[in-house]
């Protein structure tokens, strides 16, 4: 067991990481590897800041929404300042938003964490609530126009799910021939061991999809005419469903119209059944271009509870996993031939995914499982630091260090002191 002094020291280290990665109203994930504002990272960071600086936490959300496009989309990266150490930068994306940005979005967790900020101090939130609700509603409306089919949210680029190189996309990615992608210089492998990052074959396809989007002017209608990568995904579907539940609560409080949001919730609740793969008895990704499930029980599959969907068979998977994995929840099963313990989303455990899953477990009445996951995540971070992600077999740190969202979820959820924050 950790002593009170240990947890206080770790709490302070986590606060120091967030402050060190603050760039004047937005937080970078970590210096060097990720020098800009990332969409879902920022939402988690806001929650972390809220444990000691609520005004700064709100600023994070507002800075994220300041990059919102006129069509409602909130990009997955906002390039607030140029940094030649990152590829692909704004010159590669060629977007025309209010702030230089990427041309795709990311899992819409911002409404969920905005609600948490609002609930901490409704009076402080009152002057900004209407604007935040309006911006989030416009973003969610964009999802329903361009990223939802039959009640399932899908992605048009692996980066859009946040789970870049997950085995879920292997088949859909293999169908892409990255002809003419040209030469480029990756920067990520200069900061992190290449064995922990996506392969060159993956990256060629990532860049090819970016180049295609740029050729089409990032016009959603044009890109949808002949889709080359369109995968319905538990990450996007479950985070969007949860975000709409939280947005609805804030919309009611602000006096905003709610009928549209209620319709979105009903649509996703019905559509989630389309992600159930009976062959593996799990929620799974589906290739909407070439057909078929990916056959992947991923950590995203367990986000069902976070979305408010209880599923006994997923609980069975979770209980079995606790017995054969020291540091759950791996991003891909340990017994899969595609499992790689340290390669990004092909095996490692991610604190932010554990947090969302743990929140969902507790809210759905599975308190024992929620506490077990929180305790395992607490032990993992306490023993191995504030890394980007971790080897699920031995807990060793992987990816970037001094990582903002790991510090944030420590402060708001994993730390033994979090419930008193």
The set of catalytic residues is 164, 388
- Specify whether the CB–CB gap between 386 and 17 falls below 8 A: yes
User: What's the CA gap between 275 and 154, in Å, rounded?
Assistant: 11
Tell the burial category of 206 from Cβ atoms under 10 Å away from its Cβ (0-12, 13-18, 19+): buried
Residues 6 or more apart whose Cβ sits within 8 Å of residue 225 = none
- What does residue 305 show for φ and ψ, rounded to 5 degrees? -70, -40
Identify whether the C-beta of residue 243 lies closer than 8 Å to the C-beta of residue 106: no
Pick from 14, 39, 46: nearest CA to 116: 46
Q: What Rg, from alpha-carbon coordinates, does the chain have?
A: 20
Distance CA 11, CA 5 (A): 10
> In this structure, what are the phi and psi dihedrals at residue 153, rounded to the nearest 5 degrees?
-85, 135
Using a 10 angstrom Cβ sphere, with 0-12 exposed, 13-18 middle and 19 or more buried, the burial of residue 161 is buried
**Distance of alpha carbon 35 from alpha carbon 28, whole angstroms:** 6
What is the Cα–Cα distance from 200 to 185, expressed in whole angstroms? Answer: 11
Q: What is the dihedral of CA 148, 203, 296, 33, to 10 degrees?
A: -90
Q: Where are the alpha helices (DSSP H) in 147-199?
A: 170-174
Helix (H) / strand (E) containing 276: strand 276-277
From residue 127, alpha-carbon distances to 32, 49, 306 in Å are 36, 19, 29
Coil, helix or strand at residue 126: helix
CA 58 – CA 25 distance, rounded (Å): 9
Helix or strand run (H / E) with residue 149 = strand 148-149
- How far from each other are the two terminal CA atoms of the chain, in whole angstroms? 20
């Amino acid at each position: 067991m950790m002593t009170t002094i240990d947890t206080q020291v770790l709490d302070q280290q986590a606060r120091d990481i967030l402050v060190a990665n603050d760039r004047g109203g937005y937080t970078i994930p970590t210096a060097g590897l990720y020098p800009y504002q990332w969409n879902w990272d920022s939402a988690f960071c806001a929650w972390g800041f809220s444990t000691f600086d609520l005004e700064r936490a709100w600023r994070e959300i507002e800075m994220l929404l300041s990059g919102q496009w006129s069509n409602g989309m909130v990009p997955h990266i906002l390039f607030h300042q140029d940094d030649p150490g990152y590829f692909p930068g704004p010159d590669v994306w060629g977007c025309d938003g209010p702030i230089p940005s990427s041309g795709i979005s990311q899992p819409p967790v911002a409404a969920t964490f905005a609600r948490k900020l609002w609930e901490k101090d409704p009076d402080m939130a009152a002057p900004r609530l209407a604007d935040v609700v309006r911006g989030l509603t416009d973003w969610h409306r964009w999802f329903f126009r361009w990223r939802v089919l039959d009640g399932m949210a899908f992605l048009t680029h692996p980066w859009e799910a946040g789970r870049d190189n997950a085995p879920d996309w292997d088949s859909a990615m293999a169908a892409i021939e990255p002809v003419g992608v040209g030469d480029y210089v990756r920067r990520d492998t200069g900061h992190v061991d290449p064995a922990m990052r996506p392969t060159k074959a993956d990256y060629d396809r990532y860049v090819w999809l970016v180049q295609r989007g740029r050729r089409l002017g990032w016009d959603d209608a044009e890109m949808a005419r002949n889709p080359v990568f369109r995968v319905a995904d538990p990450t996007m579907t479950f985070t969007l469903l949860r975000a709409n539940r939280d947005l609805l609560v804030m919309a009611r409080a602000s006096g905003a119209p709610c009928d549209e949001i209620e319709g979105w919730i009903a649509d996703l609740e019905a559509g989630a059944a389309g992600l159930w793969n009976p062959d593996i008895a799990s929620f799974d990704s589906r290739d909407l271009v070439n057909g078929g499930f990916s056959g992947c029980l991923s950590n995203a599959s367990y986000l069902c509870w976070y979305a408010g969907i209880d599923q006994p068979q997923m609980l069975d998977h979770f209980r079995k996993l606790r017995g054969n994995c020291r540091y759950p929840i791996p991003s891909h099963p340990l017994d899969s031939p595609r499992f790689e313990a340290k390669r990004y989303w092909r095996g490692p455990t991610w604190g932010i995914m554990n947090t969302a899953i743990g929140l969902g477990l507790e809210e759905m009445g599975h308190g024992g499982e929620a506490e077990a996951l929180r305790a395992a995540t607490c032990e993992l971070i306490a023993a191995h630091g504030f890394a980007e992600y971790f080897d699920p077999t031995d807990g060793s740190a992987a990816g970037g260090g001094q990582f903002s969202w790991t510090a944030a979820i420590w402060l708001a959820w994993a730390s033994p002191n979090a419930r008193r924050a």
